[in-house]
Amino acid sequence: MRNPVYLDYAATTPVDRDVAKAMAACLDIDGNFGNPASRSHVYGWNAEEAVEIARAQLAMLIGADAREVIWTSGATESNNLALKGVARSATRRHIVTSPIEHKAVVDTCKFLETEGFEITWLTPSADGITRPESLRTALRPDTLIASIMHANNELGVVNDIAALGAICRANGTLFHTDAAQSIGKVMIDVRTMPVDLISISAHKIYGPKGAGALYVRREPPVRLSPLLHGGGHEFGMRSGTLATHQILGLGLAAEFMRERMVEENERILGLRNRLLAHLRQLPGTVLHGGDAPRLPGIVNVGFAGVDGETLLNALDDVAVSSGSACTSASVEPSFVLRGIGVPDDLAHASIRFSVGRYTTTEEIDYAARRVTEVVTALRSPHDAIDTN
């Protein structure tokens, strides 16, 4: 029996084979296993060097100074550090965000509400984009920070973070973006973009799970209080022994994304468009996000007249999702689709397809054929569904 076709790269990516080999070389007695904070012997020196090379590699991907990269356990921690870290030392008490952000931002903002902060929830457009004019209208003299994701993790649509950041900068407001989905797929250059804080995840770019980073602008400086104390690691912003193998993996994965971005985007976009062309031949197919700018690899498609749970269960040979992996346990329709006005019945019948580095044309054609077969059968109750 063949393995299912994997079209859930937005949930997580496999670790690049060369990245995995480099990481493995940091684990045993013959490798670079030392503590990067141990500066009294060669094992520590070598580990620290590997960490700093990785820091420079990730910084190059976004045009940053290496000293602006803070290692974390992933984008969830980075989002928490950005928002709570800024809030802890602030006198301003107003925050602006969107209800279709990743849960790591939504839930953090809801927590900060319990701490006395006022949250303004911007209404996204029907295509999932947060318009600059809506942000401008929401800002106040006491607005501390605005947090708007670069690319939506369920829709794939891309916000204009340069324009959003410029509006915040003019108001004296910090601007944070969750770039977990977009990093290495859309050009980010912090030298020209007025973005103060950027959350990054390794496992979305063929690096390891459990590794991430937060970009923290140095000029103008961002005042950030740590969430974790004990040793003053990471320029005093995030204490804890650094996982050399994971950090090395993130750095190398970032370097590969920078080197391959143009070529890889072109190939993945071609595969995504091929898939979408197949699916659009099905009547009642709806592309969520419409014609908004989007990442090369993500499409979210609704199939009218189909029960989504039954559809997913029938597609046991195609690995896809009904939304964010972080909310997959919920039986409710996607809060992102609801947030852009998609009716519950269509939201329930929607699937996110995400294409990646190892996807082939044959897999795209197979997946499209299986979706067509299953959707057609579900719309015709007297037909059996072949899941083999």
Contacts of 246 (CB under 8 A, 6+ apart): 23, 202, 207, 208, 210, 211
pLDDT digits 0-9 by tens, 157-173: 999 999 999 999 999 99
Residue 236 is predicted with a pLDDT of 83
- Give the pLDDT score at 309: 84
In sequence order, what DSSP letters do the residues of 276-297 get, joined into one string? HHHHTTSTTEEEETTTS-B-TT
Task: Specify the pTM.
Answer: 0.94
Structural domain 5-11+261-378, CATH architecture: Alpha-Beta Complex (3.90)
Cα(274)–Cα(27) distance, integer angstroms: 41
**Catalytic residue positions?**
326
* CATH code reported for the domain at 17-256: 3.40.640.10
**78, 200 Cβ separation under 8 angstroms:** yes
What are the φ and ψ backbone dihedral angles of 259, each rounded to 5 degrees?
-70, -30
Segments of the chain assigned E as strands: 5-6, 69-72, 94-97, 118-121, 143-147, 174-178, 197-201, 212-216, 285-288, 298-303, 318-319, 350-354
> Could you give phi then psi for residue 319, rounded to 5 degrees?
-85, 105
Question: So what's the pLDDT on residue 332?
Answer: 76
| Four-CA torsion 343, 344, 350, 356, nearest 10 degrees | 90
SS3 of residue 49 by DSSP: helix
Domain edges within the chain? 5-11+261-378, 17-256
In angstroms, the CA 82 to CA 222 distance is 10
Q: What is d(CA 10, CA 154) in angstroms, rounded to the nearest whole number?
A: 8
Q: How confident is the model at residue 385 (pLDDT cuts 50, 70, 90)?
A: very low
For the cut 90, the answer to whether the pLDDT of residue 114 exceeds it is: yes
What is the average per-residue pLDDT within 289-317?
93
Look at residue 388 in the predicted model and tell me its pLDDT: 40
Average pLDDT value for residue range 138-160: 98
Express each pLDDT in 59-85 by its tens digit: 999 999 999 999 999 999 999 999 999
Q: Read off the pLDDT of each residue in 260-284 and give the average, rounded to a whole number.
A: 97
pLDDT of residue 331: 62
Q: What is the pLDDT of residues 21-56, one digit of tens each?
A: 999 999 999 999 999 999 999 999 999 999 999 999
Place of tokens 């990516």: 13
Helix (H, G, I), strand (E, B) or coil at 183: strand
Residue 384 has pLDDT above 50, yes or no: no
Q: Does 188 score more than 60 pLDDT? A: yes
- Average pLDDT over the chain, rounded to whole? 94
Helices and strands per DSSP (H, E), number in the chain: 11, 12
pLDDT at 323: 64
Region 167-187: what's the mean pLDDT? 98
Listed residue (78, 75, 56) closest to 67, CA to CA: 56
**C-beta of residue 125 within 8 angstroms of C-beta of residue 156:** no
- Residues above pLDDT 70, as percent of the chain: 95
Q: How many CB atoms lie within 10 A of CB 269?
A: 15
Phi and psi of 101, rounded to 5°?
-65, 170
The dihedral built from the CA positions of residue 47, 48, 52 and 53, taken in this order, carries a sign that is: negative
Among 92-96, 143-147, 285-289, 306-310, the minimum mean pLDDT is found in 306-310
Percent of the chain residues topping a pLDDT of 90: 89
Closest to 312 (Cα-Cα) out of 9, 12, 7: 7
Decide if 59 contacts 65 (C-beta within 8 A).
yes
Decide if pLDDT at 381 tops 80: no
The mean per-residue pLDDT over the stretch 104-124 comes to 98
The torsion angles phi and psi of 176, rounded to 5 degrees, stand at -120, 140
Residue by residue, DSSP assigns 80-123 as HHHHHHHHTT-S--EEEE-TTS-HHHHHHHHHHHHTT-EEEEPP
For residue range 349-370, list pLDDT tens digits in order: 999 999 999 999 999 999 999 9
